[in-house]
Amino acid sequence: SVLDSAESAKISRIGAVNVLTLIYRHFTPDRQLASHYCGMLAAMGTDSFAKSAYFEDDTFYPWTKTYTACAIGQACSNIGEYEKALRWYALGREKGPQQGREANWLGFHVAKTTAYLHANDPYIGITAFDEYLRSTPDDYPKSRAQAFVEIAALYMRAGDYPSARDFFDEAVSRYPG
């Protein structure tokens, strides 16, 4: 029989989730591809479907839920839907591990999206990145260096050039190269 449009859309969403499932369940090293599919899920408007079908499924590893929520949050942030992105990040924190590479990635993007959401008040972004730096171990030098640069840029936006210079200098001295 011919499927109506609602049934067809549901099958498309199921297909997208199945692709994502295959990527994660086979432990592919291609996280960029996985992130692309997560973004596709967000772009397809599958919020409620993805949450019920994926995030409530205990057969998925918690770290994959953190990574997926962060990737969907990034997709939302990239199109200016910052509050929606922060909701996805909160789901990633709720469903995933509180430490490790994925939690670090999530924390960085929470700070960055918070800075975007409050673009008119750079000090809110500075506080968000400061919280990220205080909660992130030195095991993640690349994201920590980027956080120092982000703070410096926010200080520049606020017109506090001496503080901006201090944070740029700190990034270079702590994380050369």
Q: Give the tens place of pLDDT for each residue, 162-173.
A: 999 999 999 999
Mean pLDDT within 111-137: 95
Question: Which comes out higher in pLDDT, residue 149 or 100?
Answer: 149
Q: Residue 154: exposed, middle, or buried by beta-carbon count in 10 A (0-12, 13-18, 19+)?
A: buried
| CA–CA dist 171, 177 (Å, integer) | 10
Strand segments, DSSP code E, in the chain are none
pLDDT recorded at residue 176: 82
pLDDT recorded at residue 131: 95
pLDDT recorded at residue 61: 76
> What does the angle CA 160 – CA 168 – CA 108 come to, to the nearest 5 degrees?
95
Question: Which comes out higher in pLDDT, residue 130 or 8?
Answer: 130
Is pLDDT at 158 greater than 60 in this prediction?
yes
Determine what percent of the chain falls in helix, strand and coil, rounding each to the nearest 5: 75, 0, 25
pLDDT digits (tens, 9 = 90+) for 4-54: 454 444 444 545 555 555 555 455 555 555 555 555 555 555 555 455 566
